[in-house]
Structure 1
Amino acid sequence: MYKKYVSLDVGDVRIGVAKSDIMGIIATPLEVIDRRKTKAVKRVQEILREQNTNALVVGIPKSLDGTEKRQAEKVREFIEKLKNEIDNLEIYEVDERLTTVSADRILNETNRKGALEKRKVVDKVAAAIILQSFLEQKR
């Protein structure tokens, strides 16, 4: 049975969002939620409905030695808010070490001009990298 997933790269200001295809094989960047302008939990709920899934993959930031810092606590607090607001939610936590660095490198290689433009894209590309690594581990 195939399953579709949505992934989140949760930051203090922005949340990168990606989705998988219906077969759960390929991750694609979807959007960036600006937490200053949008109710993030409500928007995630809408995205899950639009994507017709209840499966959410969330990147947990860790330092290079594998320890978790304050940002990981903030992400887990956001996960708790999601669990409280969204019924039947399946959440998979994934180590997201270096995903933003990888996304940044990919965007530099594709020659995206402008820091502001890159900032708008890097978070959703990081979410896609998180999701793609999750999908590959599942196989």
Structure 2
Amino acid sequence: MRIMGLDFGERTIGVAVSDELLWTAQGIKTIRRSKSELEELAEIINQYDVQEIVLGYPKNMNGTLGPRAELTVEFSEILQEKFHLPVKLWDERLSTVAAQRSLIEADVSRAKRKKVIDKMAAVFILQGYLDHRQRKI
């Protein structure tokens, strides 16, 4: 069993998957938003035996919800309907900032950062969720 983490953006979806012990998150890919995005997600769900989805929930810094959050809720409902898996919304505040900082510290060029930032944000979202689960046990 694994958990999939998603960073749902306007143009792309960053994808990460947990290890089987649910301790660590690994970035898988960045999917271009298109009519085939659900098919690509289905392939990953099947390949990694995903049993749960964690979707980054974009709250404003003051905790309020904006238009992007509404789109995310709609996407979570589509995911639940399509894959019949539990979909958890997870506060993603600062996940992209943390991913950006991590890539800069690793001396990744700006062009390469742009290609992987959503995938890395998905890793931070999923890792936060996995760490939270471990603390609850």
TM-score bracket for this pair, using the shorter chain length: over 0.9
Counterpart for residue 65 of structure 2? 68
Q: Which runs of 4+ in 1 moved over 2 A?
A: none
For residues 130 and 44 of structure 1, what CA distance do their matches in structure 2 show?
Answer: 17
Q: Deviations for 1:70-119, whole angstroms, at most 9, x for unmatched residues?
A: 111111111111122113x011111000100110111111111133x211
Helix, strand or coil for the counterpart of 1:66? coil
For residues 131 and 61 of structure 1, what CA distance do their matches in structure 2 show?
Answer: 14
Give 2:95's aligned amino acid: T
Q: Deviations for 1:4-55, whole angstroms, at most 9, x for unmatched residues?
A: 111000001000000110000011111000114x611221121111111221
Two-structure CA RMSD over aligned residues (Å): 1.2
Helix, strand or coil for the counterpart of 2:68? helix
Helix, strand or coil for the counterpart of 2:90? strand
Indicate which of 76, 79, 100 corresponds to 1:82: 79
For residues 4 and 86 of structure 1, what CA distance do their matches in structure 2 show?
Answer: 14
Taking structure 2 as the reference length, the TM-score comes to 0.93
Do 1:41 and 1:81's aligned partners in 2 also have CA atoms closer than 8 Å?
no
For residues 36 and 70 of structure 2, what CA distance do their matches in structure 1 show?
Answer: 20
Structure 2, gaps ≥5 residues long = none
Counterpart for residue 104 of structure 1? 100
Identity %: 36
For residues 42 and 76 of structure 1, what CA distance do their matches in structure 2 show?
Answer: 19
Taking structure 1 as the reference length, the TM-score comes to 0.91
